[in-house]
Amino acid sequence: MDSLLSAMKAAAEPTRLRLLVLCAHADLTVSDLVHVLGQSQPRLSRHLKLLAEAGLLDRNREGSWVYFRLAHDGPSAALAQTLVDALPDEDPTVLRDLRRLEELMGERAQRAEDYFRQVADQWDELRALYVHDDEVERQLSTLIAAEPVGDLLDIGTGTGRILEVLADKVEHAVGIDLSSDMLMLARSKLERARLRNCVVRKGDMNHLPLGEASFDAVTVHQVLHYAERPSRAIQEAARVLRPGGRLFIVDFQAHDLDYLRSEHAHRWLGFEEDRMADWLEAAGLQPEDCNHLKGKALTICIWTARQGQARDRSVAA
């Protein structure tokens, strides 16, 4: 009861209610909120501190930036959502705040598109070698939808595309990536698509900033061929899977296009199926299927594996 009363007291202030509404729509920094609300940074920082300490907001650090979002887990998360839902849509203060937020997100989107244009040519060159992304996404969506998924993790989320594709098939989704530029792009796309059940966070695939047994499904889409030790990344994915949870790895079958190392920074030229099975088993997972999608020069595989009750924490060399 005490924690609930503390959360209610923390929210019982006009500016803090406005902050809850804004943070229900997007990941926002103190600077973002200063821009939207027109209040001083020290004042808003104090409000945000109170809301975070009360469990009404999640606080996530990315380098020198700290992002705030309406709480997803914890005893006060339901209260936070209830308070946001209780505010009438036609409230003039809420409407004004959301209009300013739209302007801010438009500026974010422009910065993200400028960055994407710089790298798009390299991506288009690589995509021409394999089956169209639509077919890969269709198959992955079908596999995910075969069983209910409450919480999804996308490791190496990049532009957030997999979160976009799977958002309507899961209750909540988190994308992890080390690149601040990619997180900027992903965050902008998710905001524009109004996918409020999806968030992105900064993190290393080899040391996920997440608790054990936190997710029903994990996707690793076109990431492992960049990893120095794919087995370590698979081990981490297994760690955060709940018992019975599923891992989906989308990557290239072993190939001999050596120039992808020098021109596209690929560490691995795809993966042999036997080797992938060894890594999955060493992580305590049960390998299931491997779907093949053949392209012009490269074949994409979708490996699936399942978490059992017990976990083997050894890692394959």
Q: Could you list the pLDDT tens digit for every one of the 317 residues in the chain?
A: 677 788 888 888 999 999 999 999 888 999 999 999 999 999 999 999 999 999 999 998 866 788 899 998 878 888 999 999 998 878 999 999 999 998 888 777 676 566 556 665 566 566 667 778 889 999 999 999 999 999 999 999 988 999 999 999 999 999 999 888 888 888 888 988 889 999 999 999 999 999 999 999 999 999 899 888 899 999 999 999 999 999 999 999 999 898 888 777 788 899 999 999 999 999 999 999 999 999 888 999 999 999 986 544 444 43
Q: Which two tokens stand for residue 200?
A: 């992105």
pLDDT of residue 312: 45
From its phi and psi, is residue 185 left (phi > 0), alpha (psi between -120 and 50) or beta? Answer: alpha
Beta pairing partners, 251: 301
Task: State in words which class domain 2-100 has.
Answer: mainly alpha
Burial zone of 131 (CB within 10 Å; 0-12 exposed, 13-18 middle, 19+ buried):
middle
- How far is it, in rounded angstroms, from Cα 268 to Cα 289? 21
pLDDT of residue 60: 85
Say what the alpha-carbon torsion angle 280, 304, 157, 243 is, to the nearest 10 degrees.
-70
Say whether 219 sits in a helix, a strand or coil.
strand
Q: Which two tokens stand for residue 106?
A: 């438009």
Cβ-proximal residues to 214 (8 Å cutoff; 6+ apart), any chain: 151, 153, 240, 242
Contact at 8 Å (CB) between 282 and 315?
Answer: yes
Burial zone of 66 (CB within 10 Å; 0-12 exposed, 13-18 middle, 19+ buried):
middle
Residues of the chain with CATH 1.10.10.10: 2-100
Residues of the chain with CATH 3.40.50.150: 129-307
Contact at 8 Å (CB) between 144 and 169?
Answer: yes
Cβ-proximal residues to 194 (8 Å cutoff; 6+ apart), any chain: none
pLDDT of residue 88: 86
- For 129-307, CATH gives 3.40.50.150
pLDDT of residue 109: 67
Contact at 8 Å (CB) between 266 and 226?
Answer: yes
pLDDT of residue 315: 41
